[in-house]
């Protein structure tokens, strides 16, 4: 049986920001370029694969 939490949970937005802060501390600023380029590429090709 799961324990009931007595405190209120943080909103999803705050949880995501905390996770991004933790991950960002381990990555050099120059490395973000590779991550962002990969995401832009996926965004660019995604509609092309869905539309047939």
Q: What band does 29 get if pLDDT is binned at 50, 70 and 90?
A: confident
Res 9: pLDDT: 82
pLDDT given for residue 49 in this prediction:
59
**pLDDT number for residue 13:** 86
Q: What is the pLDDT of residue 7?
A: 56
The predicted structure's pLDDT at residue 48: 62
Which residues, 6 or more positions from 18, have their beta carbon under 8 angstroms from its beta carbon?
A: 10
pTM above 0.85, yes or no: no
């Amino acid at each position: 049986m799961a324990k009931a939490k007595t405190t209120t949970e943080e909103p999803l937005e705050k949880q995501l920001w905390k996770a991004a802060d933790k991950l960002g501390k381990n990555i050099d600023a120059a490395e973000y370029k590779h991550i962002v380029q990969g995401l832009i590429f996926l965004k660019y090709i995604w509609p092309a694969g869905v539309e047939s």
